[in-house]
Amino acid sequence: MRHLLLAACPNPNGLRKPTNSGPSGKPRADALLQAKADATLLWIKAQEDAGLDIVCDGEQSRQHFVHGFLEKVEGIDFDNKVTMGIRNNRYDAMVPQVVSALRLKGRVHGFEAQLARAHTKKKLKFTLPGPMTIIDTVADRFYGDKVKMAFAFAELLNQEALALQADGVDIIQFDEPAFNVYMKDAADWGVQALERAVQGLNCTTAVHICYGYGIKANTDWKSTLGDEWRQYETVFPALARSSIDQVSLECINSHVPPNLMKLLAGKDVLVGVIDVASDVVETPEEVAGAIARALEFVPKERLFPCTNCGLAPMGRDVAWRKLKALAAGTQLAKERLESTSAFRQF
Ligand code: ZN
C-alpha cells in the first residue's frame, strides 16, 4: 500500500485583500509579491503538516484558476471585460476578450513554482487550466472558431508546462470542468487539445474534471442532474486512450456512479473523497468508506485520494480541517487494507 498517495489542490482562501497598500489604496507590487510568497509557503507547510504526500502551491498567486494564466497572454484585453454566460450559460461571468493572435508574454507561474520547489521535498503538483475550459471563460473577438482557439491556447499551455517541468514540478494537472458540460466536444476534440498541451512532457500529467466549486450556481445546477450523474461516461473512454497519466474526478457526496471509474483502466485515478460544497468536515470513517467504494473499481496502486475540487471558496479553518480529514481517512483506509491482506496470508 505504499502507493496510496494523497493528492490535493487546496487553494484555500487565496489572497484577496493584501493589507500593505500604497497611496492609491492598491497594494504595492513588491508587497503583493511578498504576500503571495508568504501565503504559498504557509500552505505548503499546512499541506505537509496535514499529512499529504503530494503538495501544491495552493494557487495563492492567482485570483482565478483561468484568469491567472490569461493575465500573462498577449492578445487578451483585460481592460475591457464583458459579461458572458459560461459553462453552457450556467452563470454569467466578467471575462476578458481575445482581440489578436495569442502569445505568451513570458513565464506565467515561474515565481511560485520555483518558490514551492525550493521549499518542499514532497512531490510537487502544479495546476493549469485546460484548453477547453479556457475558451469557455474568455470572449472571442479574433479567432471565430472555438477549436482553433483551443489549440492556440494548448500551444501556450504546453510552453508553460515544459517550463514548469524544468522548474522541477513532478505532476502537471490541467483543470477541465468544461469536459463535464460539453461532453461530446470533450471526446471529439477536447482530449486532443489536451494532448497538444502535454506534448513533450515526461513528468506525470493529469486532468481534473469536476462539477465545479461549491458556489450556489453549481450546487443549483447539480440539483438538476438527476439521481445518476453519467457525464464522465462520454469522455473517460477518450481519456483512457490518451497519453494523460491521471484523471481526477468528483466522487464523495455526488451522484457519480462509482463503476464509471472502470472506464479509466490503465490510468491513475484521483478520487474526490472530500466534499468542497459543504463546510461539514468529513470523518476519517467517511473518507475511508469513499476510498473503499472506489477500490471496488480501481486497483489500490492506482488510487490517489484527493478533494472533489479546489477549496478556494471555503473558510480557512474548514479548508485546513478538510486537509487533515483527507490524510486521516486515507491512513485509516491503508490500515484496513493492510490488515485485510495480513489476514489473507493465514
Ligand atoms: Zn474542480
pLDDT in tens, 55-72: 999 999 998 889 889 999
For the entire predicted model, the pTM comes to 0.91
Structural domain contains residue 9: no
Q: What is the pLDDT of residue 189?
A: 98
CATH number for 156: 3.20.20.210
Residue 24 has pLDDT above 70, yes or no: no
Query: What is the percent of the chain where pLDDT is above 70?
Result: 91
The whole-number pLDDT of residue 98 equals: 97
The whole-angstrom separation of Cα 77 and Cα 98 is 6
Higher pLDDT residue, 87 or 129?
A: 129
**Ligand 1 centroid from CA 259, angstroms:** 20
For residue 142, the CA-to-ligand 1 centroid distance in Å is 28
Q: In this structure, is residue 48 part of a structural domain?
A: yes
How buried is residue 6: exposed, middle or buried, by Cβ count under 10 Å (0-12/13-18/19+)?
buried
Q: Identify whether 18 is part of a domain.
A: no
Q: Which domain holds residue 202?
A: 29-345
124 has a pLDDT exceeding 80 = yes
Q: How far, in Å, is the centroid of ligand 1 from the Cα of 140?
A: 24
Please report the pLDDT score of residue 5 as a whole number.
47
Task: Evaluate whether 190 touches 153 at the Cβ level (below 8 Å).
Answer: no
Whole-number Å distance between alpha carbons of 304 and 76: 36
Least confident interval from 53-62, 63-72, 101-110, 122-131 = 63-72
- Whole-number Å distance, alpha carbon 178 to ligand 1 midpoint, is 10
Rounded Cα distance, 308 and 304, in Å: 12
Q: How far is the CA of 202 from the centre of ligand 1 (A)?
A: 24
Least confident of 225-234, 284-293, 334-343: 334-343
204 C-alpha vs ligand 1 centroid, how far in Å?
Answer: 19
How many A from CA of 283 to the centre of ligand 1?
Answer: 22
Confidence check: pLDDT of 16 > 50? no
The predicted structure's pLDDT at residue 14: 46
Q: What is the pLDDT of residues 222-272, one digit of tens each?
A: 888 888 999 999 999 999 999 999 999 999 999 999 999 999 999 999 999
Q: How far is the CA of 248 from the centre of ligand 1 (A)?
A: 9
DSSP assignment letter at 178: G
- Tell me, in angstroms, the distance from the centre of ligand 1 to residue 321's CA: 19
CA of 3 to the centre of ligand 1 (A): 23
Q: Where are the alpha helices (DSSP H) in 24-87?
A: 29-50, 67-70
pLDDT at residue 7 greater than cutoff 60 = no
Is the dihedral angle over the CA atoms 141, 146, 147, 153 positive or is it negative? positive
The answer to the question of residue 2 being in a domain is no
**According to the model, what pLDDT value does residue 9 have?**
45
Q: Is residue 11 in some structural domain? A: no
Average pLDDT over the chain, rounded to whole? Answer: 91
All three cell numbers of 88: 453552457
**Residue 200: predicted pLDDT:** 98
Q: What angle do CA 273, 277, 283 make, to 5 degrees?
A: 45
Please tell me the distance between residue 341's alpha carbon and the centre of ligand 1 in angstroms: 34
Q: What are phi and psi of 134, to 5 degrees?
A: -60, -50
- Please state, in angstroms and rounded to a whole number, the distance separating the CA atoms of residues 159 and 108: 10
Tell whether the model's pLDDT for residue 13 goes beyond 50: no
Residue 12 lies in a domain: no
For 232, counting Cβ atoms within 10 Å of its Cβ (0-12 exposed, 13-18 middle, 19+ buried), the class is buried
Mean pLDDT of 129-137: 96
Alpha-carbon gap, residue 227 to 225, rounded angstroms: 7
Kindly state the DSSP code that residue 283 receives in the 8-state scheme: P
pLDDT of residue 342: 64
Query: How far apart, in whole angstroms, are the C-alpha atoms of residue 289 and residue 320?
Result: 21
Distance 210 CA to ligand 1 centre (A): 5
214 pLDDT band (50/70/90 cuts)? Answer: confident
Res 327 pLDDT > 50: yes
Q: Does residue 132 have a pLDDT over 80? A: yes
Pick the range with the lowest mean pLDDT from 4-13, 272-281, 332-341.
4-13
Ligand 1: centre distance to CA 93 (Å): 17
Ligand 1: centre distance to CA 322 (Å)? 16
The total domain count for the chain is: 1
Residue 290 has pLDDT above 60, yes or no: yes
